[in-house]
Amino acid sequence: MDSGRRQFLGRWGAVVTGVAAPFALPGQAFPQSHTHPDLEAGATTTAPDPQSGSGTRTGSGHERFMWLAIAQARRNPKWPFGAVIVGTRGGEVLGSGVNTGADSPLLHGEVVAMNDYVRRQGNQGWADTTLYTTGEPCSMCMSALAWANVRRVVWASSIDEIRSTDIIQIDLTAREVAAAARSFYTPQLLLGGVLAEHTNHLFREAQRLRERFPDASAV
């Protein structure tokens, strides 16, 4: 295992159960009867974005913010895990970041974005935010999101796609972590697959870069 792979131990949580295209859910996607947060494929709504992800001239609200996460990801071409945290109501970007695992094994894109959020906003207001990330949060990051009470999490690439690019991971899905935290954490939205066709390409390109330049910096 090279250093790049080691530093990404645990980066990925596991399976995304197939939401191929972005879609929106109403604010309370997980009624109390749900013991395992999940999504119902094909659900739609026309409420404003990013709370709902409804359409804009640049695509769905979710897509618009995922592009921002992708822009972050492009800052680390070999490990393109980028994330942004936006205000669920107003859509303002409150924090952002890209994986800097070369500096610390804790610094996955989501954690970097959360640290940026704290620097800019203080440790407050999490429940009114939505995090967008280019890949499904790993168990570490999903736990952090649950602890912070980030109630809406949207990701792009599925675990299967990430695995196919030779990145290792702990076998816990983001949804499984969220369900295990149910005593204190009630997510409103856990959505995968938004712009995955683009991030899948990004991850495949990253794999090729790692293969071609295995001794170069991880970032």
Site for Zn ion, rule CB under 5 A: 108, 138, 140-141
Which one, of 85, 157, 90, 92, lies nearest residue 126 by Cα?
85
Give the nearer residue to Zn ion in terms of CB position, either 60 or 139: 139
Min CB(137)–Zn ion separation in Å: 6
Give the nearer residue to Zn ion in terms of CB position, either 16 or 138: 138
Give the nearer residue to Zn ion in terms of CB position, either 51 or 143: 143
Report the C-alpha gap between 203 and 189 in whole angstroms: 24
Is 205 marked active-site?
Answer: no
Min CB(8)–Zn ion separation in Å: 9
Residues in the chain: 219
Min CB(167)–Zn ion separation in Å: 11
Distances (CA, A) of 50 to 26, 54, 67, 129: 11, 7, 13, 10
Give the nearer residue to Zn ion in terms of CB position, either 167 or 191: 167
Contact 42, 49 (CB under 8 A): no
- What lies within 8 Å, CB to CB, of 85 at 6+ separation is 93, 94, 95, 96, 113, 114, 116, 117, 129, 130, 131, 132, 150
Which residue is catalytic, options 110, 197, 205, 211?
A: 110
Min CB(11)–Zn ion separation in Å: 5
**Coil, helix or strand for 7?**
helix
- The token pair at 96 is 């952002």
Min CB(42)–Zn ion separation in Å: 28
Distances (CA, A) of 157 to 8, 116, 186: 16, 23, 23
Give the nearer residue to Zn ion in terms of CB position, either 64 or 175: 175
Contact 99, 81 (CB under 8 A): yes
Mind telling me the catalytic residues?
A: 110
